[in-house]
Structure 1
Amino acid sequence: MFASILNYPDSVFAQFDRLRRDLDDVFGGSGVPSSIRSVALGSVPPLNVGRTAKSVEVYAFAPGLDASKIDVTLDRGVLRISGERVADVPEKDPKTSVYARERAVGRFSRSVALPDDIDPAQVSATYRDGVLQVSIGRKEAAQPKRITVQ
């Protein structure tokens, strides 16, 4: 429902969303500068993206998918997650009436621009309980080093 409200450019919610995006542009989102970029709230499937000292972690919330039909690619610093969700209720069955459909169906694709310090040789992806986790290692030179004071 919230995503559909944002489609009306003059709604109060759309104006607040535009203000939030403008502030994110100025202040870098959560206040922490980051070179990781994704698209706006409301895209399917929703993503959580963060980084640790050793990796960049991407979580895609996509329940009900067949793991073998999820395509994950990493090309020139851009992670792309795509796939397709089929309808739960058959549309062509004359004995079935669909009154509401809130779960998105069809093809989807999400892209995330990653920082330059990732190591494309260190990528793993797992799908469990409807959550796809993609872990991309960071280059050794980018990881924090503790320096001993003598």
Structure 2
Amino acid sequence: MSDLHFGTDLFSELDRLQRQMSSLFGGFPSSLRSSQFGTFPHINVGTTDDTVEIVAFAPGVELGKLDISIDKGLLSIAGERTTRDAQLPEGTRQYAQERFNGSFRRVIELPQQADPDKVQAHYVDGCLLISVGKREASKPRAITVQ
């Protein structure tokens, strides 16, 4: 039997510890690719032989309120999301809200082989799809042995 004793539920203690650690380190990301818990929009980044593919999950954002730019190898996605019909009835005391509303900005460090002159972006069903082409010199090629 262990001599270790917790005065409360072990999972509650672990949850409390995680919240304290998040508050300690939450404001200081270790790199541009890391993000604080709860950052909006969530993103997926992948690569093919020809492109770098980014998907930003941004439901409820109007197309006109999105701003995408690339500068010095950094892709910036900025915008604003506002609540429309999802308001609670007047007099309701809200005790939980998981939907983010307001301005946002995400910065993604692109790999060196990304070509900022070859960018396409589409917004479909709440997903911002960004495709950044790679430089020709960085693409894989076969070498013939003579």
TM-score (norm. length: structure 2)? 0.72
1:45 paired residue among 18, 38, 41: 41
Within 5 A, what are the aligned runs for 1:15-94? 37-40=32-35, 42-89=38-85
Q: Structure 1 residues 55 and 96 mapped into 2: Cα distance closer, same or farther (>3 Å)?
A: farther
Is 1:111 the counterpart of 2:123? The answer is no
Shift of 1:95: 3.5
Counterpart-to-counterpart distance in 2, 1:96 and 1:126: 40
Say if 1:53 and 1:96 are closer, same or farther in 2 by CA, change over 3 A. Answer: farther
SS of residue matched to 1:104: coil
Match for residue 126 of structure 2?
130
Q: Size of the alignment, in residue pairs? A: 123
Worse-superposed segment, 48-57 or 36-45: 36-45
Q: Give the Cα separation in 1 of the matches to 2:66 and 2:139.
A: 30
Q: What SS class does the counterpart of residue 19 from structure 2 fall into?
A: coil
Identity %: 39
Amino acid in structure 2 at the alignment position of 1:64: G
How many angstroms does 1:146 deviate by? 1.5
CA distance 1:98–1:110, shift in 2 (3 Å)? farther
Q: What is the aligned partner in structure 2 of residue 8 from structure 1?
A: 20
Matched, 1:97 2:109: no
Measured after TM superposition, the shift of residue 90 of structure 1 is: 7.9
Using the alignment, how far apart are the partners of 1:98 and 1:85 within structure 2? 22
Take 2:91 and 2:61, find their aligned partners in 1: how far apart are those partners? Answer: 23
